[in-house]
Structures are given as C-alpha cells and as structure tokens.
Amino acid sequence: MEFPGLINYWIVVVLMMSGFYIVISQGNFVKKIVGLNIFQVSVFVLYISMSKIDGGAAPILDEAIKNYSNPLPHVLILTAIVVGVATTALGLALIVRIKDAYGTIEEDEIIVQERNDS
C-alpha cells in the first residue's frame, strides 16, 4: 500500500470519534454543540476526500483540462454546511432558553433540579 492509501478515512475516524466523545462525555451544552460540529466536519471531510481524483482539477469547466474532481459530493456538502449552521443556531437558541428556565447549562445540575422538583 502506498502512502496516501486509506489515511483519509483514518483521519475522519479520529475526528469523528473525538466529536462523539465530546458529545457523550461532557456535561456542558455549549461544548456538546462544539462536539456535534466536529462530528459534522468529519463527515464533510469523508465526502470531500472521496470526491478527490488523482490529478483532478477543481470542477470548473475549461478547454485545457480533461480531468476533474467529482462535483456531486461538493454540492451535497455545500448545502449541508449552511444547513449545519442553521441547526447550530437553533441549538444555541435552545441553550439560551434552558439557561433562562434552569439558570444553568450543565446537564448534571439540571438533572439534580429535576429530581428535587419531582
């Protein structure tokens, strides 16, 4: 196996797992959102790295170029990024409301409050 080989997938797996770890282990909601973003970027990198073809140029038509990268994943990811920021904004809005209702954005403290109420 030559050097590039499968390393792009391994980078994706490492990034994805660090995002996953942040989401499941941290109690702070803002940090959870950051973790989700990292997870999301790792999926983007997976798609974009699959679209790369050796010696392929950016997919903008030109007479002199014969070999292009695969443009379809680019389109999918382009829209996914913008939708991602819209959903991030929605999540942050929810965090602001949670802070409003509970006075904290730590998961553990909210669970304690809920237990005391019931």
* Centroid of chain to Cα 92: 15
**93 near another protein (CB under 8 A):** yes
- Out of 43, 70, 110, 113, point to the residue binding another protein (CB under 8 A): 70
**72 near another protein (CB under 8 A):** yes
**57 near another protein (CB under 8 A):** yes
Q: How far is the CB of 118 from another protein (least distance, A)?
A: 20
Q: How far is the CB of 114 from another protein (least distance, A)?
A: 16
> What sign does the dihedral 64-66-71-73 (CA atoms) show?
negative
3-state secondary structure of 30: helix
